[in-house]
Structure 1
Amino acid sequence: MPSTPRSGNPAKQAQLQQTAKQQREAKRQEKLAEYQRQLKKRQRGKLVWWIVGGTAILAVAAIVVASLVTAPRSYTAGSEGVEIEGVETFELESDHVDGVVEYEQNPPAGGPHNSAWLSCGVYTEPQPNENAVHSLEHGAVWITYDPAVVQGADLDALRALAPRTYAIVSPYEGLDTPIAVSAWEHQLKVDSVDDPRIAQFIEEYWQGGTAPELGASCTGIEGPGKI
C-alpha cells in the first residue's frame, strides 16, 4: 500500500492524510461498484439461461402433450359382441369384380370389390370404394367424413381416433352425415367427432366382426392424397 506523504506543518499533514483516506475510499468504492456490475452481469446471464431453458422445457412439454393428444388410439383386436346404439348391420357378398360397383350403403360397408385393396392410412382426398371395401374385408375400419363439415381441430381429433394400423381415414363426398365409420357389414353414422360411439365402434369391429379375410395385409395400392 502506498505511504501517505508527510509534511512538517500539522495542518498540512492532516490535509494530506485526509486526501489519502479519500483516495483509498474512492478506490474501494470503485472496486465495489465494479464487483456489483459483474455480479449483476452474472445474474442477468443466469436469468437469460433460466428463461431460455424454461422456454425449451415448455416447448418440449408442449410437443409431448400435443403428440399424446394427436397420437392414434390403441384398441384391442377382436369382437366381443357389444351392442352399440345406432350401428347398422348388413349381409353382403365378398366377390372380386372389375369396374365400378353400385353399393347399397353410402359409404359402402362391404360387398363386391376390386381385387386390389387400398393401403391403410390417412388420406386427404376421396378414395375408390372398390379398393377401400377390399381393405374392410381384411379387417380394417374406414373412417369417412364430410370435408365441408369436419375440418381443422375436429379433423385432427377424428384422425387421432384411428387405430395405428388397419384403418383408413378419408374425406367422402355425398355423405348424409358428418362422419361415418364402417367395418365389414357394420356401419355407424354420427354428427360429431366427440361422439363416444366412434371409439366404441372401432373397439368392437377393428380386426374383428365378420371380416372374411381377417388379418390379411393392409398394405396395397396407395390412393391419392396419402399422408
Structure 2
Amino acid sequence: MSPTDKQRSGNPAKQAEINLTVKQQREQRRQEKLAEYQKQLAKRRRSKLVWWVVGSTAAVAVVALIVASIVFAPPAPPSYTAGDSTGAEIEGVETFENATDHVEGTVEYEQSPPAGGPHNAVWLNCGVYDQPVPNENAVHSMEHGAIWVTYDAEQVSGDELDTLRAHLPSSYVILSPYEGLDSPIVLSGWNTQLQLDSADDERIPAFFEEYWRSQNVPEPNAVCSGALDAPGKQS
C-alpha cells in the first residue's frame, strides 16, 4: 500500500483535510528546496565577488608597484662620449705636464690632489669610496683615462654629495674624500684639473665630456678594474 493510499479516508471532509496537508507538505518541501537553491546561488555570487575584489586589488597593487619602481628608481648614470679631447675651453681648468713613471713607495706630487705623475704599478679599481684612497694607485687609474673626483667631506655631504654622485658615469671614475683641498670639490684627469665650489656647477658634465676616457692619456683604453680595492669601497 502506497503512502497516498494510507492517507485516504472514507470521510470526504477528512479526505479533504488530508489532501490539504499533503499539498502543504509538498509546498513546504518546494519552498525549502527553493530557499536552499537561492542560498547556494547567493553563496556563489559572494564567492565570485570576493575573488573579483581580490583579483582587482592584486592587479591594482601590481600596477602600483610597477609605477613606484619607475617613479622611485634611481636615475641611470649619465653617459659621456669617450675619445679624443675636443679642445673645448672650460673656465677654470688647469693643465700640467707630468711624468708617467712607475715607482714604489710614496710620491710627493706637485698638485694636490695629484693630476698625474709617477705612480704605483698597480692601479686603483674605479668606483665610489667613502675613505681617502692612495694617491699613487689613483694616479695610475687616471693614466688609463679615469676621472678622479675628490671632495672635502666636511663641506660636501648629504644632498650635495648625492648631487655630485649623480654626475658620475658608471665606469672610469673614482669618487673619494680628500683632506686639505683648496675647494670643496676637485675634478682631476691626467694633466688636467678643475676646482669647484658646488656640485651643481654646470662645468662638471663639461669636464667629463672633454676628459673622460680621453685617448690623449698615456695608456688609453686600459682597464680600470681587476686590480686594487682600497678601504672604503662602496661600489
Match of 1:77 in 2: 82
Aligned length: 222
The Cα RMSD (Å) is 3.2
Report % sequence identity. Answer: 49
Give the alignment partner of residue 163 of structure 1, picking from 161, 169, 174: 169
Match of 2:96 in 1: 90
Give the alignment partner of residue 225 of structure 1, picking from 221, 228, 232: 232
| 1:134-172 Cα shifts (integer Å, max 9, x gaps) | 111111111222334444455444334322322112222
Q: Determine whether 1:47 maps to 2:53.
A: yes
- 2:231 match: secondary structure: coil
- 2:43 match: secondary structure: helix
CA distance in 2 between partners of 1:149 and 1:21 (Å): 91
- 2:174 match: secondary structure: strand
- 1:143 match: secondary structure: strand
| 1:165-210 Cα shifts (integer Å, max 9, x gaps) | 2211222233343332211122223333333322221111011174
Higher mean C-alpha displacement, 166-175 vs 188-197: 188-197
Q: Structure 1: where are the runs of 5+ without partners?
A: none
Match of 1:107 in 2: 113
Q: Provide TM-score, normalisation by structure 2.
A: 0.76
Residue 86 (structure 1) shift:
3.0
Q: Provide TM-score, normalisation by structure 1.
A: 0.78
| 1:38-90 Cα shifts (integer Å, max 9, x gaps) | 32233222322333343334334444555551x32221102222222332323
CA distance in 1 between partners of 2:222 and 2:188 (Å): 18
- 1:223 match: secondary structure: coil
Q: Determine whether 1:208 maps to 2:208.
A: no
Asked whether the equivalents of residues 184 and 209 of structure 1 are also in contact (C-alpha less than 8 Å), the reply is no
Asked whether the equivalents of residues 142 and 148 of structure 2 are also in contact (C-alpha less than 8 Å), the reply is yes
CA distance in 2 between partners of 1:158 and 1:128 (Å): 21
Q: Structure 2: where are the runs of 5+ without partners?
A: 9-13
Asked whether the equivalents of residues 185 and 210 of structure 1 are also in contact (C-alpha less than 8 Å), the reply is no
Asked whether the equivalents of residues 215 and 221 of structure 2 are also in contact (C-alpha less than 8 Å), the reply is no
Residue 131 (structure 1) shift:
1.1
**What letter is aligned with 2:232?**
G
CA distance in 2 between partners of 1:194 and 1:113 (Å): 31
CA distance in 2 between partners of 1:124 and 1:56 (Å): 37
| 1:14-36 Cα shifts (integer Å, max 9, x gaps) | x8756754654454344334323
Question: Pairwise mapping of residues 1-227 of structure 1 onto structure 2 (< 5 A)?
Answer: 8-9=15-16, 13=20, 17=23, 21=27, 24-25=30-31, 27-64=33-70, 66-67=72-73, 69=75, 71-78=76-83, 79-152=85-158, 154-208=160-214, 210-219=216-225, 220-226=227-233, 227=235
- 1:142 match: secondary structure: strand
Larger Rg: 2
**What letter is aligned with 2:230?**
G
